[in-house]
Copies of this chain bind each other. A is one copy, B any other.
Amino acid sequence: MKKVTAFAPATVANVSCGFDILGFAIDELGDQVTVMRSDSPGLKVTAISGDGGKLPYEAERNTCSVAIQAMLDQLGIAQGMEIILEKGLPLGSGMGSSAASAAAALVAANALLNEPFTKKELVPFAMEAERVACGAAHADNVAPSILGGFVLIRDYQPLDLVKLPVPAGLHCTLLHPHLELNTSDSRSVLRKQISLKDSTIQSGNIAGLISGLFLSDFQLISRSLRDVVAEPSRALLIPGFYELRENIKAIGALGSGISGSGPTIFVLSPDKEIAIMAGKVSEDVFGKIGLGLDVYISEINNNGAYLKEEKI
């Protein structure tokens, strides 16, 4: 193989009560990366589109090349590659933008090298890219972007990923309000200490959410979609958040939460029709506030990153 193109989807991390431990993948919306073998040494990012000129070309700073370099270091080889990144995701929106680029780059480069790694084995390399992009080697975007579905990150030392079942019909409405939200602000508002009571409530809800996914019990999922740890602080940064929650529940959606560190909001629904209605209801809420809104409707993507094209 000389040239491979892969696609990796947007993801929702910090899924409500699954703060810092649970993420899931979206369909269609995502980034595309093409990787070509090169005779000159090293990794070169040769083109980036769809980023408004904001992403770095330097191999040490671009998440595509950082992820591939971590993979090559593990293999102990020095294959030269050229990398083309086509961004489909808005930057810094809380949809796992940096993760999707790294995931697509890794799936492409892995195919180029005749798949020395399983998909699950690619996750730690993508985490190195997250370390460069976000300052911390989080897995809650990269793991679902690579593997698809809902992924539990039980632990980091060592990394322990559990792929969870996706109930048939479950849909996500992603709402991206036109609002600047700095990730470091979003992290600084978090409380450092949680009451024993809140910690127990959070445990009960994540246990309920996981059970609901295994049982395909939409009502249990709905009752469990409640975050008492991060959301009470972060929701204050997103005007309309609580009104939106009430309104989407009134039309039969299961619940909502902040995607990643925001400002994107996810809504989960038991079918496509309600997911579409949730989008309309949200446009009303943000319209009243005077905020623009992008709406994406999607099933949960159960497959994750995939190869689009291979040229020998």
Q: Give me the interface of A with B, judged by CB distance under 8 Å.
A: 17-22, 152-155, 160, 162, 164, 190-196, 198-208, 210-211, 214-215, 220, 223-224, 229
In the assembled complex, the Cα of A155 lies from the Cα of B162 at a distance in Å of 25
Q: Are B196 and A229 in contact (CB under 8 A)?
A: yes
In the assembled complex, the Cα of A201 lies from the Cα of B201 at a distance in Å of 14
Q: Are A192 and B195 in contact (CB under 8 A)?
A: yes
In the assembled complex, the Cα of A196 lies from the Cα of B191 at a distance in Å of 7
Q: Are A203 and B206 in contact (CB under 8 A)?
A: yes
In the assembled complex, the Cα of A199 lies from the Cα of B230 at a distance in Å of 11
* Cβ distance A87 to chain B, nearest Cβ, rounded Å: 30
Q: Are A192 and B203 in contact (CB under 8 A)?
A: no
In the assembled complex, the Cα of A190 lies from the Cα of B229 at a distance in Å of 19
The interface residues of chain B lying within 8 Å CB-to-CB of A202 are 199, 203
Chain B, Cβ-Cβ closest to A229 = B199
* Cβ distance A214 to chain B, nearest Cβ, rounded Å: 4
In the assembled complex, the Cα of A153 lies from the Cα of B153 at a distance in Å of 23
* Cβ distance A306 to chain B, nearest Cβ, rounded Å: 25
In the assembled complex, the Cα of A155 lies from the Cα of B160 at a distance in Å of 27
The interface residues of chain B lying within 8 Å CB-to-CB of A206 are 203, 206-207
The interface residues of chain B lying within 8 Å CB-to-CB of A19 are 200, 203
Copies assembled:
2
Q: Are A160 and B199 in contact (CB under 8 A)?
A: no
The interface residues of chain B lying within 8 Å CB-to-CB of A18 are 203, 207
In the assembled complex, the Cα of A154 lies from the Cα of B207 at a distance in Å of 7
Q: Are A193 and B190 in contact (CB under 8 A)?
A: no
Q: Are A207 and B204 in contact (CB under 8 A)?
A: no
* Cβ distance A74 to chain B, nearest Cβ, rounded Å: 24
* Cβ distance A189 to chain B, nearest Cβ, rounded Å: 12
Q: Are B199 and A192 in contact (CB under 8 A)?
A: no
The interface residues of chain B lying within 8 Å CB-to-CB of A195 are 192-194
Q: Which of B160, B162, B191, B205 sits near A154, CB closer than 8 Å?
A: B205
Interface pairs A-B: 6 shortest CB-CB: A154-B208, A214-B214, A199-B199, A193-B193, A210-B210, A194-B199
In the assembled complex, the Cα of A223 lies from the Cα of B191 at a distance in Å of 28
The interface residues of chain B lying within 8 Å CB-to-CB of A223 are 154-155, 160
Of listed A155, A196, A215, residue having the most chain B CB within 10 A? A196
Q: Which of B21, B154, B190 sits near A196, CB closer than 8 Å?
A: B190
Chain B, Cβ-Cβ closest to A223 = B160
Q: Are A211 and B210 in contact (CB under 8 A)?
A: yes
In the assembled complex, the Cα of A267 lies from the Cα of B206 at a distance in Å of 24
Chain B, Cβ-Cβ closest to A228 = B199
* Cβ distance A191 to chain B, nearest Cβ, rounded Å: 7
The interface residues of chain B lying within 8 Å CB-to-CB of A229 are 196, 199-200
In the assembled complex, the Cα of A198 lies from the Cα of B202 at a distance in Å of 12
In the assembled complex, the Cα of A206 lies from the Cα of B152 at a distance in Å of 11
29 contacts between A and B (CB under 8 A): A18-B203, A19-B200, A20-B200, A20-B203, A21-B204, A153-B204, A154-B204, A154-B205, A154-B207, A154-B211, A154-B220, A155-B204, A155-B205, A155-B223, A162-B208, A162-B211, A164-B211, A192-B196, A193-B193, A193-B194, A193-B195, A194-B194, A194-B199, A199-B229, A203-B206, A207-B210, A210-B210, A211-B214, A214-B214
